[in-house]
Amino acid sequence: MRMYVTYSKKIKHYNHILKATVEAYRNAVDFFINVCLEEWEALSMIDPSFERQAFVEKLTHGTSKRPCVKYDFDHADKKFYKFPSYLRRGAISEAIGKVSSYQRSLEKWKNNPKRKAPGLPRAGYIYPCMYRDNMYYKRSLYTAKIKVFIRNTWDWLTVELRKSDADYIRRYCASYKECAPTLQKRGKKWYLDFAYEKTASLSEIDTLEQTIVAVGFGRNNTCTCAVMQSDGTILGRKFLKLLKEQDSLMHSMNRIKKAQQHGARKMPRLWGKVNGICRDMAVKTARFIIETAVQYHADVIVLEHLKQKNTKKDSEYEKLCLWKKKKAQEIVIGKAHRNGMHIRRVCGWNASRLAYDGSGKARCMRYFADGIKKYHDSVCVFPNGKIYHCDLNASYNIGARYFIREILKSLSVKERLDIEAEVPQCSRRSTCTWSDLITLQAALAA
């Protein structure tokens, strides 16, 4: 499978000088959008995308063999004079994509005109791609030349790239293929965004021979990993507690609550700090999961399916926790594929509520402090009296549900019905536990 990673290199010493290039590109896209709207009836009859691009170019760009064109792009604006050919074709492709999307939305609206009609397409906040040799070429590791609109013409400009960005990319993307960069602006700074391509092969191992890492996200532990095999053998257990980051997050949330009590509403600075802490926790959690999987040579990482329900009733802290878990899962997916590992998701309902030994529903451990009854969230008590870690119990059940699903999928309908008759607990995935996997394996062996 092909994988793409994007990294940015900051451009030093230049701020306002690159605005004219982006403005010229956006104006060119708007020009070609108007042409595509006028000629859409003929353009829609052409199927391959490269032929559409050639059709629009014949209508707008004059040559020695084609001196007169219907829409003269080269003389429509001073900034379009000597417009780079690769950039012009990129603008045509961008315009065709926007008009095609608009026409599909318009057709759907005509069939069901309940809401407002879709608006005409515009270039919007798009940025140009600096095509290699025509728009960009690399002089050294820390310098490059890009073609920009400067001094009322298109000319080459030498730019210096930040050393830390270039060294980081050279260290981690040495085996990747570098694609053409895109000129981007974030805040007041300009960057060259590089896409790196790599072909990765995922492991192809039979389900019964796989080693998985079942990941459970909890409130007490940021992450709990259980390394498991198909017969239910637990090879390892790992816990991650980000206590310092958790305290910083709670402190930042309390500052927001206090500001809200005094009438503040938006608070972008305070919310920016909270989002930064959550991002940092997600990155550290993903790194911990991948390191655990690599240590035990895992083939699959099993995550629980996160679905946000009743968001209006949930507190802001619960929404942040859910966002943080989703962000961590996104990072894990990319890193796992780079290491040749599969990603699977299972239903996480009742994973921590049901005891992994099949004894029934677990409850939080109760104790008394100063004569007051309190609950210990990180420890649960099974109906048979066994005391166990709550998040670890959930990770066992998550891993068992993955194996139960994969084993039943590999069987024929007749065999699956026979097995479900012997082990009826496996028929409903949201109530499966680790003990059901052991029972299923025994039934298969018999």
DSSP for 133-191 reads TTTEEE-SSSEEEEEEEETTEEEEEEEEEPHHHHHHHHHH-TTSEE---EEEEETTEEE
Residue range 190-208: average pLDDT? 90
Residues linked to residue 153 through DSSP beta bridges, in sequence order = 150
Number of other residues whose CB lies within 10 A of the CB of residue 401: 28
3-state SS class at 195: strand
What is the separation of C-alpha 68 from the centre of its chain, rounded to a whole number of angstroms? 47
pLDDT tens by residue, 384-440: 888 898 999 999 999 999 999 999 999 999 999 999 899 998 888 889 999 999 999
pLDDT tens by residue, 44-86: 888 877 789 999 999 999 888 888 889 999 888 888 988 999 9
| Token pair in block for residue 231 | 């017969």
The secondary structure element, H or E, covering residue 279 is: helix 268-295
Question: Domain coordinates of the chain in residue numbers?
Answer: 18-111, 207-445
21 pLDDT higher than 80? yes
Q: CB-based contacts of 266: which residues, under 8 Å, 6+ apart?
A: none
Q: 174, exposed or middle or buried, with CB in 10 Å at 0-12, 13-18, 19+?
A: exposed
pLDDT tens by residue, 366-385: 766 666 776 777 888 899 88
pLDDT tens by residue, 144-166: 999 999 988 999 999 999 999 99
pLDDT band for 308, please (50, 70, 90 cuts).
Answer: low
pLDDT band for 266, please (50, 70, 90 cuts).
Answer: confident
pLDDT tens by residue, 310-336: 544 556 667 777 778 889 999 999 899
What local confidence, expressed as pLDDT, does residue 108 receive? 92
Residues linked to residue 237 through DSSP beta bridges, in sequence order = 226
C-alpha R_g of the chain? 29
Please state, in angstroms and rounded to a whole number, the distance separating the CA atoms of residues 32 and 56. 8
Place of tokens 């040579």: 297
Q: Which residue has the higher pLDDT, 1 or 211?
A: 211
Number of other residues whose CB lies within 10 A of the CB of residue 14: 14
What local confidence, expressed as pLDDT, does residue 349 receive? 87
119 pLDDT higher than 80? yes
What local confidence, expressed as pLDDT, does residue 324 receive? 85
DSSP state at residue 115: S
Q: What percent of the chain has pLDDT over 70?
A: 96
pLDDT tens by residue, 234-253: 999 999 999 999 899 999 99
Q: CB-based contacts of 427: which residues, under 8 Å, 6+ apart?
A: 420
The per-residue pLDDT of the chain, averaged, comes to 90
